[in-house]
């Protein structure tokens, strides 16, 4: 399952089959379906990455980090701090 640019509807928002989500540009592993959950946003939501280096991040604004593929730099969206399923958990 590859991440793509979020133009229009996101194909994997309601997809909950077991698998690994990878970068659409280089194929690097980003997220597991085990870390995916239903969220009110129009994009897929995950609680954690597969590898410590799956994504690169920088602070875009307080509470939100800009996220890109840790291997090739392809833009993936954001990490929202303290907006995950559990207290103190992030949402990707």
CATH number for 56: 2.170.150.20
Give the C-alpha separation, 22 to 89, whole Å: 22
The SS3 assignment for 33 reads helix
51 in any annotated domain: yes
Question: Which pTM does this prediction carry?
Answer: 0.75
Residue 21 confidence (pLDDT) above 50: yes
Q: How many domains does the chain have?
A: 1
79 in any annotated domain: yes
pLDDT in tens, 28-77: 999 888 888 777 776 778 888 999 999 999 988 888 889 999 999 999 88
Task: State the pLDDT at residue 12.
Answer: 58
Give the C-alpha separation, 50 to 9, whole Å: 25
Task: State the pLDDT at residue 52.
Answer: 94
35 in any annotated domain: no
Give the C-alpha separation, 68 to 58, whole Å: 9
Question: Containing domain of residue 63, as a range?
Answer: 40-91
Task: State the pLDDT at residue 4.
Answer: 45
Residue 2 confidence (pLDDT) above 50: no
């Amino acid at each position: 399952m590859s991440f793509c640019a979020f133009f229009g509807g996101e194909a994997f928002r309601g997809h909950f089959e077991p698998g690994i989500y990878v970068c659409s540009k280089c194929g690097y592993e980003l997220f597991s379906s085990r870390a995916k959950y239903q969220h009110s946003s129009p994009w897929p939501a995950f609680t954690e990455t597969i590898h410590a280096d799956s994504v690169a991040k920088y602070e875009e604004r307080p509470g939100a980090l800009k996220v890109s593929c840790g291997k090739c730099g392809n833009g993936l969206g954001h990490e929202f701090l303290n907006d995950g399923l559990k207290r103190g958990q992030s949402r990707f």
